[in-house]
Structures are given as structure tokens and as C-alpha cells.
Amino acid sequence: MKRLTQLRRHLRVILVAAEMSLRNNLTDGFVIFGIVIQPMIIALMAFWMLRDQGPDDIIYIVVGSGMTGLWTTTLFIGGQAISGERWTGTLEMLVATPAPLHIVVIGKTLANVLQSLSAMVATYALAGLVFGALPTIARPGWFALALLLTVPAYVSFALIIAPLFVLNPEVRRLQNGLEFPVYILSGFLFPIALLPGWTTPLSYILPPYWAARALHGASSGGDVADILFSMAMMMLSILIYGLLTARLFRRILYKARVEATLVRQ
Amino acid sequence: MGAEAIPDVHGHAGRPPSSCRPIVHCPFVAFYEVCFNFRMNTIEVQDLRRVYNASIGAIRRSRKEIVAVDGISFHIEQGELFGLLGPNGVGKTTTVKMLTTMLIPTSGRIRILGLDVVKDAKKLRPRIGFIFGGERGLYWRLSGVDNLRYFGSLYHLDPDATRKRIPKLLEMVGLSDRGEEKVEGYSRGMKQRLHIARALLHDPEVLFLDEPTLGLDPVGARDLRVIIRNLQAENKTILLTTHYMFEADALCQRIAVINKGKIVAEGSPAQLKSIVSDLSVIEVEIFGGVDDRLPALRALPAVDALSIENREQKQVLLIQSPAGAEAVSTILKLLDGVRVGKVAVREPTLEDAYIRLVEGEA
């Protein structure tokens, strides 16, 4: 009963944090740029580079560009979520409330990922404009299911990075460094088979890799067993990253309270 | 800004007001309090110390330890309004941040409502509220109502009860007609009032008010003091930090004067004033610089403490002297050549006691 009450409270915090984050983001020009404009630019560049490929590859480009947009916004807006709280002086307020900070950050990240999905829709529409017809999704049911799992997979990955922003405001400098390696290692725009063999284990620990593999497979008509395997790996990574997150947040928050890094520096 | 009763936010019917609740949820303690008319301390601070590590230099970085709070101890009883008085940068805010679980003390112990602030932070947080002076700590792109709704969920309050409570709190702080507007359009005073509503949302038993009237206009500051008095009437335990003497004098039952991280005096406003009861204060209005005369003035046996206040185009020398009016002629001789305005001798106030305490430590 106590656990159920706690679960209900956490769920409410997640929903309200997501709602407030959405309201806040929709009035922020930087966020709008990150969600809509930047993914479109990346998609246009990808279309231009791969324009000579056959029509079957268009959907690969659409999904890949959409995922780059999804990752960029998750990384930048997710990081911004903590940095912004610190800047406005609300981070220490959040820490001093009874709601665990990682639950609040789940809500905020969920809002960001859901908003970022609009990048994929925008890229899909852009492909229709550029190529004169909307690309076809080979297995729409599997694609929808994979997309549904992609949301928590991205949230869990963003949550592993978020505590670092709590600990040290300087971590934001790493954001740029994290953007492109994840594009490449996750195989958003080209298969990881083209990369050196030693990078493969790195790809395997990234939830966006399994999300990209499932979504590319479902959109291009790949093997169902492989789509299922990718989704199972997504679920496993959600579980592992989720467990690590709560622990990491607790440790890092304690350290931040010792080192006084919750306020603007 | 009336003191109308505000409904319970936890959705529990018949919950007693905080004034009737025992401060520690232990039947033995409650029994002891009732039988022996004894009140346990709501807040107990022992040998509290906080050190910050700061890095210095751009190329060759070295670390320096800054002692913000240096072994302070005090206690606050249930329903008491206790003031922590001191100039800027002496450790008042650091103390409040440790009391509100935002910072971990370097050493020492804090117990609030019988709970340790480090070990029992999770249990303590729903029972305390805090306000920090200034405009930060709110979501400017959200409306006042949304800010309160968000914090209501963070305090795990019943959503329906929160919805009913928000209008009452907004009415109490005079923001009823502006609640739906975005906070970015609020004045500094309005933001401060929203902070108060936020801090009271979960009906905390203990409140920490860190410089709550900082930067408010006189009317806003007066209204805020009325709210603080009303909260005290509700038997809330309140710790107020301020550097406004009259505010501490008017509101606090006991005051601790803090300087350079240490408590230099503690007592009721009357007890603190008694520190300077043997002195008179000579106020000398002057126009133009007197820096070159200050060492000689301070060296006079009749001068116990000296400070300068800027008042528009003039300055006022505030001289604490055991000699009173008899010292005026000696002082004026030393000010020969300086344009002097009015000279007055008056009884000392809490501010004079504070100046003596802080100057004595300088």
C-alpha cells in the first residue's frame, strides 16, 4: 500500500514536471530551434548527400535524420534542464523538496523526448516535399512499437548524463563532444558495420543504437526477429540505466550538497 | 492580506492545525511536554561549521579554504520567531541552507523537529518551508498559479486540495488578480510574495525566511512583516535572517548577532540593547569628506564606536560615547574646518548595539 502511494506520487511528479516543462519550452526560442529547425537542417544535408541513393533509402534517411534530431534535443535540452534550473536558482529548491530529483528529471526529459519526436514527423514531411512523395514505412506496426520503446530508452540514457550536470556546471562543455560520437556509434545515418570493429561494443551500450536498429529495421522491412531482439535490448538498457540512475543521483546529489555546486557559479 | 484560515493540503479530514501538533511525533515526548509544561527545542544547532573550497588563479590554480560558518550553536523553541542578524557575507544564508538540507555541514549537528538534517533529510523536507530573498527560485515563464501547482506536486500534496488552497494563498499575499500571469511580468515585490505563497503551500511547521524583505519597497516590506506576524500568531517556528535592525527589533523574540561566521551575541532585543545602555549616541551631520579625521576621532577616550551613514547629499557620523553630550565639544573641535549640520544626542537602539558588536569584532 505504501509502495503504491509512493508510485502514485512519483507518477504525478513526472506528469506535472513534464507538463510544466512543455509549457516552459514552448515559449523558449532556443528550444524551438533545437526541436524543429536544427533537425530539418540536418535532414536537408542528409537528403542532399544521399540524393543519388535509390528511393528505398529515403525512409532510412528520414528515420536517421529524425533520430539525430531526437538525440541533439535530448542531449542539449536535457542538459539545459539542469543548467537552467541552476541558473534560475530553482535547482536547490527542487533538491530541498520531498520529491526525488531524478523523478523530476524523468518528467522533464520525457517532455523533451516527446517534443523531439516532432522532429521526426517534420523530417518525414520534409522528405515528402523534397522527393515528391511521402516515404513508405514497411512495417508500420513494428515501427510504432519500436517508437514507443524509443521514448523511455532515450529518457534512460539522458538520465545517466543528467547527474553530471548537477555535480558540475562545466560539464555542459562536454555536450558538443557527445553529440557526433553518438550519431556515428548509433548508426543513425549509416550502418555501424562501416566502423572499425573495436567500436562495436561501444555501440552496444548505447540505447539510441538499439532504438535506431529497431526503427531502421521496421521502416525498411528488416527481419522481425532482429527488430524484436533490438527492442528486447532497449528494454534491458532501460532497466540497467534506470537502476543506475537512482543510485547515481543519490551519490551525486550528496556530493553536490557537500561541494555547494547546486547554485550558479 | 487577511489571516483567514487556509484549508489543509494533505486531503486528511480533521487534521489539527500546526499549533496543536506536538513538535516531535513521539508519544513519550508529547506526554512529557504536557505533564511538565516543557517545550522541546524545535531547532537545535551545535558547533555548526561550514567550509567552502575556492580555487584561485587562472593558470596556476591553488585551493583556498573559506570558513563561512565557524562553530555556531543556538536553539529555537516551538512557536518562537528567532532572528539571525548580521551584515552581508557573514554566513547567514549558508546557515539557512544547511538548516534546509541544501548544504551538508562540514562539522557540527543540526536537529529540527527531532530529526537530523543530514540523516533524516527525506523525513524533514515535507515539514519545513523556506524563502530566500530576491527574485530567483521561480519559473519565470510559468504563471504564478502554475508555479504553485508544480511545487504542490513536488511536496506530494493532494491535487484537489492544492487547487482549493492556491487561490486562498494568492489572496493572502495579495496576488489574486495576477495569479494567471507569467512570473516574468511580476515586480520584485510580487515575486517575493509568490515565494511566500510557495513556502506556505504545504503548511510547514517550521519556516526559514532568509532576508525576505530584501529589495522590497517600504509598503511591500511592511505588508510582508504583517504576514510574518500572522504566521507567528499561528504558532509557526520561524527563523528570520536580516540585516535590518528595526525589522529584527519589531518581529523577533530572540536574536543572535552573527559576524564572520560566529555568533557574537544572543538574547532578546531588550537584552541586546542593554549592551549599549551605558552609552549615548551622538549624531553629527557633515557635508564633505572626513576620512582624514576618523583615526583621531576613534582615538578619543570618549568614543566607543564610530560609523558613518550616507543620507542623500550628507553623511552622518554615529558616535557611541559613554560621555554623552559632554563629548560633543571635543568631537566638534576635531571636525574643525568640516561643514557640520545638525548635532543630536539620543538613546541607543538595537542598531547601535549591533554596530558595537560588529565593530568590536572588526
- What residues in B contact A23, CB-CB < 8 Å? 141-142, 146
- Nearest-angstrom CA–CA distance, B207 and B113: 12
Kindly give, in sequence order, each residue whose CB lies less than 8 Å from that of residue A85, ignoring residues fewer than 6 positions away. Answer: A91, A94
Q: What is the pLDDT of residue B293?
A: 87
- Nearest-angstrom CA–CA distance, B71 and B45: 10
- Stretch A96-119: mean pLDDT: 88
Check pLDDT > 60 for residue B362.
Answer: no
Read off the pLDDT band of B253 (50, 70, 90). Answer: very high
- At B9-52, the pLDDT tens digits run 444 443 333 333 333 445 655 565 555 555 578 999 999 999 98
Nearest to B154 among A97, A258, A262 (CB): A97
User: Which residue, among B82, B358, B344, has the nearest Cα to B238 in the 3D structure?
Assistant: B82
Nearest to A98 among B102, B139, B156 (CB): B156
Q: Compute the Cα dihedral for B197, B199, B203, B208 and give only its sign.
A: negative
Q: How far is B328 from chain A (nearest CA, A)?
A: 49
Q: Is A1 helix (H, G, I), strand (E, B) or coil?
A: coil
ipTM, interface predicted TM-score of the complex: 0.85
User: Which residue, among A151, A107, A115, has the nearest Cα to A14 in the 3D structure?
Assistant: A107
Residue B3 per-residue DSSP state: -
Residue type, B321: S
Q: In what order do the strands lie in the sheet with B237-242?
A: B128-132, B206-210, B237-242, B81-85, B254-259, B262-267
Q: What is the pLDDT of residue B13?
A: 41
- Nearest-angstrom CA–CA distance, B196 and A177: 42
- What residues in B contact A89, CB-CB < 8 Å? 132, 134, 136-137
Q: Tell which A residues from 214 to 243 touch B, by Cβ distance under 8 Å.
A: none
Pairing of strands B62-77, B41-56: antiparallel
Do residues A182 and A206 touch, judged by C-beta distance below 8 A?
yes
Do residues B269 and B354 touch, judged by C-beta distance below 8 A?
no
A96/B102 Cβ within 8 A: yes
CA distances from A78 to A26, A141, B290 (A): 15, 29, 57
- At B43-91, the pLDDT tens digits run 999 999 999 887 776 667 777 888 999 999 999 999 999 999 988 888 9
- Stretch B229-234: mean pLDDT: 90
| Positions of E strands within chain A | none
Considering chain B, what is the average pLDDT of its residues? 84
- What residues in B contact A93, CB-CB < 8 Å? 137, 151
* Cell numbers placing B39: 517545550
Of residues A97 and A34, more confidently modeled = A97
* Cell numbers placing A86: 541552476
Q: What is the pLDDT of residue A264?
A: 59
Share of chain B above pLDDT 70, in %: 87
Q: What is the pLDDT of residue B22?
A: 36
Q: How far is B215 from chain A (nearest CA, A)?
A: 17
Share of chain A above pLDDT 70, in %: 93
Nearest to B139 among A20, A99, A260 (CB): A20
Record the pTM: 0.81
B156/A9 Cβ within 8 A: yes
- In this structure, of A64-78, B171-185, B294-308, the range with the lowest mean pLDDT score is A64-78
Nearest to A90 among B100, B125, B137 (CB): B137
A12/B101 Cβ within 8 A: no
Q: What is the pLDDT of residue B169?
A: 94
Q: What does the radius of gyration of chain A's CA atoms come to, in whole angstroms?
A: 19
Check pLDDT > 90 for residue B255.
Answer: yes
Read off the pLDDT band of A188 (50, 70, 90). Answer: confident
Q: What is the pLDDT of residue B16?
A: 38
- At B138-175, the pLDDT tens digits run 999 999 999 999 999 999 999 999 999 999 999 988 89
* Cell numbers placing B189: 515585490
- Stretch A72-79: mean pLDDT: 75
Kindly give, in sequence order, each residue whose CB lies less than 8 Å from that of residue B247, ignoring residues fewer than 6 positions away. Answer: B213, B221, B225, B240
Burial class (CB in 10 A: 0-12, 13-18, 19+), B213: buried
Of residues B274 and A133, more confidently modeled = B274
Read off the pLDDT band of B273 (50, 70, 90). Answer: confident
B130/A23 Cβ within 8 A: no
- At B220-230, the pLDDT tens digits run 888 888 889 99
Do residues B254 and B80 touch, judged by C-beta distance below 8 A?
yes
Q: How far is A82 from chain B (nearest CA, A)?
A: 13
Share of chain A above pLDDT 90, in %: 32
- In this structure, of A185-199, B84-98, B213-227, the range with the lowest mean pLDDT score is B213-227
Nearest to B155 among A88, A97, A259 (CB): A97
- What residues in B contact A96, CB-CB < 8 Å? 100-102, 125, 130
Q: What is the pLDDT of residue A99?
A: 95
Read off the pLDDT band of A198 (50, 70, 90). Answer: very high
Burial class (CB in 10 A: 0-12, 13-18, 19+), A172: middle
Which own/partner pairs from B65-70 qualify as long-range (CB within 8 Å, at least 24 positions apart)? B67/B261, B68/B94, B68/B261, B69/B94, B69/B95, B69/B98, B69/B105, B69/B261, B70/B260, B70/B261, B70/B262
- Stretch A115-119: mean pLDDT: 78
- At B194-207, the pLDDT tens digits run 999 999 999 999 99
CA distances from A173 to A177, A183, A251 (A): 8, 18, 22
Q: What is the pLDDT of residue B12?
A: 46
Residues in a beta bridge with B343: B284
User: Which residue, among B192, B200, B202, B209, has the nearest Cα to B252 in the 3D structure?
Assistant: B209
Q: How far is B70 from chain A (nearest CA, A)?
A: 16
Do residues B142 and B150 touch, judged by C-beta distance below 8 A?
yes
Query: Which helix (H) or strand (E) is B220 found in, with range?
Result: helix B218-233
Domain ranges of chain A: 2-259
- Nearest-angstrom CA–CA distance, A222 and B331: 96
| Alpha-helical segments (H) within B15-158 | 27-36, 92-99, 121-124, 144-154
B150/A27 Cβ within 8 A: no
Read off the pLDDT band of A28 (50, 70, 90). Answer: confident
Q: What is the pLDDT of residue B38?
A: 52
